[in-house]
Amino acid sequence: MSPHSPSDPDASHEAPDHRDERHELDLGQFLPYRLNSLADRISQALSRIYGERFGITIAEWRVLAWLSHREELTAKQIGEHTRMDKAKVSRAIQSLEGRTLIRRTQSSQDQRVHYLHLTREGEEMLGELIPQAHAWEAELVTTLSTGEYRDLLNTMGKLERQLARLEG
Amino acid sequence: MSPHSPSDPDASHEAPDHRDERHELDLGQFLPYRLNSLADRISQALSRIYGERFGITIAEWRVLAWLSHREELTAKQIGEHTRMDKAKVSRAIQSLEGRTLIRRTQSSQDQRVHYLHLTREGEEMLGELIPQAHAWEAELVTTLSTGEYRDLLNTMGKLERQLARLEG
DNA sequence: GGCAACTAGTTTCACTTGAAACTATATGGA
DNA sequence: TCCATATAGTTTCAAGTGAAACTAGTTGCC
């Protein structure tokens, strides 16, 4: 048995009183569920900034964010980085190009690939968006100590690596 | 400024060398993104158990899981617990009832509400499914120390409360 | 050179989703 | 009592989704 005693669904048989608190804890201590609903809530809250203020989707934001640190990326590379499937990436790119936030230039070596870059317009939007995203994140983590924040990222890194091990 | 120094998209201007590692870190240290992709990967991995071995969706699993600790829940209560919208809950319930994993009984006080309970079949399925889910979780967190695991849940709790504050 | 296998990116299609409309029931006044 | 308002749950509809088919181009091999 793991030392972490994740929620035990049969536990309710042992102590029928306090059922209310205990069942709250049950799913509430099942890591996949907790993690998923936390991430979901954060995503939704943040996408209010992307969506309402800037009119872009999460997929579009991810494409833009990656383009902000790298000059030339292809759709495929963005798909690898963001773990979005290529159809989703393709549609995000189409939409961003339609709004002239990014531009595409065909590679001369390989006619199939297109390098993507931010336009001036796209850079300007990111120049506004990114600080707001960071400000929001800062507000979210404001109740954590520096150590807690570092430990969180650290632990998440461990889980990611273990996940890769389980997957691979 | 937050003490946590989340990823700074402008940082690449300061040190154009080592661009490759630095941009990996950039989005890689943006908590909402990291959290979301981690949760996504975990959900997908777990839903292989739900889906392939037991033929149920995540929504259905959540309904069943809640029913495993509480005798009588209504669709509305499940929606509140799981933060799924009522259409999704309704569809999950229909499917589960169709497979006779749950049963519905109309309340005598209020003809609109239906109490949900597991059937024997549903209980049997959960009796198999839940240990497998826990075993998978245990494998995932096996690289964490007991303290790290506790701190993780703790920190997540803090983020949830802060999120509620920001939302409310 | 020419053909099979491969790859980047797009489109199609069947399915899922959440918002809003809807149905049936309940409640709280006037 | 009657009516306005509210609520539980279902259905509809338009938009979004990923898997698979597809298009266009490339590579390796004979």
A40 to B45: CB separation less than 8 angstroms, yes or no: no
User: Which residues of chain A neighbour B37 with C-beta distances below 8 Å?
Assistant: 82-83
Q: Which of A112-126, B3-17, B34-48, B68-82 has the lowest mean pLDDT?
A: B3-17
Give the CA A89 to C1' D22 distance in Å.
Answer: 17
Helix/strand/coil for B43: helix
Better pLDDT: B79 or B12: B79
Question: How much is the average pLDDT of A123-137?
Answer: 91
B151 to A148: CB separation less than 8 angstroms, yes or no: yes
Other Cβ atoms less than 10 A from the Cβ of B125: the count is 18
Helical spans, DSSP H, in chain B: 11-14, 19-28, 31-48, 54, 58-69, 75-82, 86-98, 120-140, 146-167
Which nucleotide C1' is nearest B111 CA?
Answer: C25
User: Which residues of chain B neighbour A83 with C-beta distances below 8 Å?
Assistant: 37, 40-41
Question: How much is the average pLDDT of B72-76?
Answer: 94
Q: Which of A2-6, A41-45, A133-137, B86-90 has the lowest mean pLDDT?
A: A2-6
Better pLDDT: A48 or A85: A85
Nearest to B45 among A134, A137, A167 (CB): A167
Flag residues 73-92 of B with CB < 7 Å from strand D.
Answer: 74-77, 86-87, 89-91
Say how many CB pairs under 8 Å bridge A and B.
212
A37 to B2: CB separation less than 8 angstroms, yes or no: no
Flag residues 130-159 of B with CB < 7 Å from strand C.
Answer: none
pLDDT, position B91: 98
pLDDT, position B19: 31
C-beta separation of A36 from B39 below 8 A: yes
Which residue is it, tokens 């059937």?
B119
**Mutation for testing the A interface, residue in B14, B69, B156 having most A CBs under 10 Å:** B69
Dump pLDDT digits (tens) for B45-58.
Answer: 999 888 999 999 99
Q: Does nucleic acid strand D have an atom less than 7 angstroms from the CB of A73?
A: no
Question: How much is the average pLDDT of B127-148?
Answer: 93
Dump pLDDT digits (tens) for A72-83.
Answer: 899 999 999 999
**Mutation for testing the B interface, residue in A14, A26, A30, A33 having most B CBs under 10 Å:** A33
pLDDT band at B70 (very low <50, low <70, confident <90, very high): confident
User: Which residues of chain B neighbour A152 with C-beta distances below 8 Å?
Assistant: 31, 152, 155
Q: Is residue A31 scored above 50 in pLDDT?
A: yes
Q: Is residue A113 scored above 50 in pLDDT?
A: yes
pLDDT, position A7: 37
Percent of chain A at pLDDT above 70? 85
Residue B70, class by beta-carbon neighbours within 10 Å (0-12 exposed, 13-18 middle, 19+ buried)? middle
| CATH code given to domain B24-167 | 1.10.10.10
pLDDT, position A27: 76
pLDDT, position A6: 39
Q: How far apart are the first and last CA of chain B?
A: 23
Question: How much is the average pLDDT of A127-143?
Answer: 93
b/e code A102-127 from CB counts within 10 Å (16+ = b): bbeeeeeeeeeebebebeeebeebbe
pLDDT, position B23: 28
Dump pLDDT digits (tens) for B16-36.
Answer: 333 332 223 377 789 999 999
Helical spans, DSSP H, in chain A: 19-28, 31-48, 54, 58-69, 75-82, 86-98, 120-140, 146-167
Nearest to B141 among A2, A126, A151 (CB): A2
Q: Does nucleic acid strand C have an atom less than 7 angstroms from the CB of B90?
A: no
C-beta separation of A32 from B43 below 8 A: yes
* B4's tokens: 């946590």
Rounded to whole angstroms, how far apart are CA atoms B158 and A145?
11
| Of B34, B77, B7, B103, residue with least CA distance to A133 | B7
Give the CA A73 to C1' C15 distance in Å.
Answer: 32
Better pLDDT: A168 or A99: A99
Q: Which CATH architecture has domain A22-167?
A: Orthogonal Bundle (1.10)
